[in-house]
Structure formats: C-alpha cells, structure tokens
C-alpha cells in the first residue's frame, strides 16, 4: 500500500483545494509530524470524509482530478499551437501515462507558462512518422518545424527558445552537475523494482539508498530551497517525477518508505526538499499529473506481473 501522503493539490474551481506547507530550508528543524497530522484538508472534512485516512483522502482527490482529465477534448488547446508533446498514454489512452520523463517535460512547459498540446499516444495510435523517422521514441516534442526526442534535450530546447523565467541559472551547482551526480538514481530504482529475487533486495535497496544519500548531501550543501541552490532549475523538475516513482513504487512493491509522514525522517534534508517539490503547482496540474495507481500499473507491466 502507498504510504500516507500530504501535499498541495492545486485544482480547478470545481476541485477540492488542499494545502500543506513543508519546512523551507534543509537546515531548519522539520515540522513535527504530530502537527502535520493535525492539519486539515481543504478547510475541513465532510461527514463522508471524516473516517478516511490521509492516504484514502489523497486517492480520493487524485481520482477527482483524473476524472476531469478523462473528459472529451480535455487536451484540446485550439488550432493555433506551436508546441505538441507526444507521450505515453495510460492503458485506455484517455490520459497521460506513467512515464516520468514525459512528466518532466510537462513540468518544464508548465513552469514556462507555455500553451501546448498533449498527445497521449498508445502503440495502436502512434503516428507512422514517429516510428519511421524517430524510432518510435517518446516523449517527442514538435515545436514549429523542429522535432526532438529525449526529455532532457527537449527541456534544453524549450529553455533556449523561451529564455525568460530561466531554469538553468547557476547556483551552488549547475543543473548539469546535479544531474551528473544523480544519474544513477533511475537505474538503481529500476533494478530494485524489477527484481523478484528476494535474496538480492538488500543489495539493490542499498544501491538506491546510496543515491538518496547523494541527493540528501547535495541539498545539505546548498544555501537555498532547491538542489542547485536558491532557484529552481531543470534538475529539480527532472528529479521530481523520478522521486515520486520511487516514493510510490518502493513502498508498493517492497514495503519500504523513502518519505516519512507519520514518523521521524531518515534524511531530513532530502525529505524536506522532496516535500517542497510535491507542493509545486505544476506537479499538481491535472494536465500533467500521473496518479499513483498508473505508476503501480506501469511497473507491474514492466515486472511481467500483468
């Protein structure tokens, strides 16, 4: 089961608004877990919600958000659009799928305030030109006459094309330095989740923990709220979907929490940092949001469980 979870959910007027605040700096004492647990959701719970756990509330809110995203025409943005993002679809093609790299691209586009069209793409409806000219790779961005694959290249292209609200400013580290230091995070996560030999779990978990320790160390060494320093960069937006996958999948498949809500944090700097990222408005935008059930289903397919 997914661990109890709290974060800011910014939803359209028809949705419930939930607000939680996490400590702003890694060096500052974390908010006591008892006070976090006492915070109310959306100004209070309805009679039907009083008996629900925080996890159940989280799932309820995400279900509401994703139900809206299923509406016909949800991803339509009109005829005049310069940016189209083709990405993995969910199992029925109505929403974006569980790909963390496509979510990263969407976070960049949303942070830039750009108008773009999302094309959730299943193998059965993938345009022939994507397969013939680009090896079928997703995510794929079409920007005017330019076609780009690979999420980081897409993000860097967007940054150059729309340099305002820069996501590449140098801090204590550059975003490239951070991504180089953390480039083993996803391989370590993937190896652990796909492993079905219980005898190997301890070593694989140790490898993942080593990657989380690296992130914790980087955050503790920087002066600001984000991993490169004071300002949010591409590195934060790249790591967020990967860490969310780790948060959801490691708990579900291995019964281990990497982010502790109801107990003392193992890595206070990392957990405060991750909490701030989960609060980002862009992460909670229903256009880009990938729900936990979709992530679990995607990993089940990768494991050969279904």
- Tell me the per-residue pLDDT of 27-65, one tens digit each, with 9 for 90 and over: 333 333 333 332 222 334 445 555 555 555 556 656 666
Sign of the dihedral through C-alpha 211, 212, 215, 220: negative
| Stretch 170-175: mean pLDDT | 96
Per-residue pLDDT of 272-300, as tens digits, reads 999 999 889 999 888 888 888 889 999 99
Same domain, 140 and 229: no
- Which has more pLDDT, 62 or 207? 207
Pair (93, 238) in one structural domain:
no
pTM of the predicted model as reported, rounded to 2 decimal places: 0.78
Query: 48 and 182: one domain?
Result: yes
74 is a domain residue: no
Q: Look up the CATH number of the domain holding residue 211.
A: 1.20.1050.10
Same domain, 187 and 250: yes
Task: Say if residue 260's pLDDT is above 60.
Answer: yes
Whether 159 has a pLDDT exceeding 90, the answer reads yes
Whether residue 192 lies inside any domain: the answer is yes
Minimum mean pLDDT among 55-59, 106-110, 186-190: which range? Answer: 55-59
Number of domains in the chain: 2
Is 76 contained in some domain?
no
Q: Are 186 and 212 members of one domain?
A: yes
CB proximity list for 5: less than 8 A, separation 6 or greater: 54, 55, 58, 247, 259, 261
Give the pair of three-digit tokens for residue 134: 């680009």
Lowest-pLDDT choice from 81-95, 167-181, 222-236: 81-95
């Amino acid at each position: 089961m997914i661990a109890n979870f709290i974060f800011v959910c910014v939803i359209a007027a028809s949705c419930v608004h939930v607000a939680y605040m996490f400590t702003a700096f890694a060096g500052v004492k974390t908010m006591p877990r008892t006070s976090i647990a006492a915070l109310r959701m959306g100004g209070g719970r309805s009679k039907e919600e009083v008996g629900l756990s925080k996890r159940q509330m989280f799932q309820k809110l995400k279900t509401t958000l994703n139900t809206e995203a299923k509406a016909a025409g949800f991803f339509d943005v009109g005829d005049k659009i310069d940016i189209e993002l083709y990405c993995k679809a969910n199992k029925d093609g109505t929403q974006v799928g569980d790909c963390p790299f496509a979510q990263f691209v969407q976070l960049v586009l949303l942070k830039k305030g750009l108008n773009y069209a999302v094309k959730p793409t299943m193998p059965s409806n993938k345009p022939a030109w994507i397969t013939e000219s680009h090896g079928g790779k997703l995510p794929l961005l079409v920007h005017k006459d330019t076609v780009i694959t690979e999420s980081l290249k897409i993000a860097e292209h967007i940054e150059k094309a729309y340099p305002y609200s820069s996501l590449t400013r140098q801090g204590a580290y550059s975003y490239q330095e951070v991504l180089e230091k953390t480039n083993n995070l996803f391989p370590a996560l993937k190896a652990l989740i796909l492993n079905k030999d219980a005898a190997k779990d301890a070593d694989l978990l140790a490898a993942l923990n080593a990657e989380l320790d690296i992130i914790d160390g980087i955050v503790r060494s920087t002066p600001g709220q984000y991993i490169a320093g004071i300002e949010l960069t591409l590195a934060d937006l790249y790591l967020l979907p990967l860490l969310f996958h780790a948060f959801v999948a490691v708990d579900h498949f291995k019964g281990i929490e990497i982010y502790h809500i109801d107990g003392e944090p193992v890595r206070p700097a990392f957990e405060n940092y991750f909490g701030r990222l989960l609060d980002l408005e862009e992460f909670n935008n229903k256009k880009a949001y990938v729900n936990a059930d979709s992530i679990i289903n995607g990993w089940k397919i990768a494991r050969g469980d279904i």
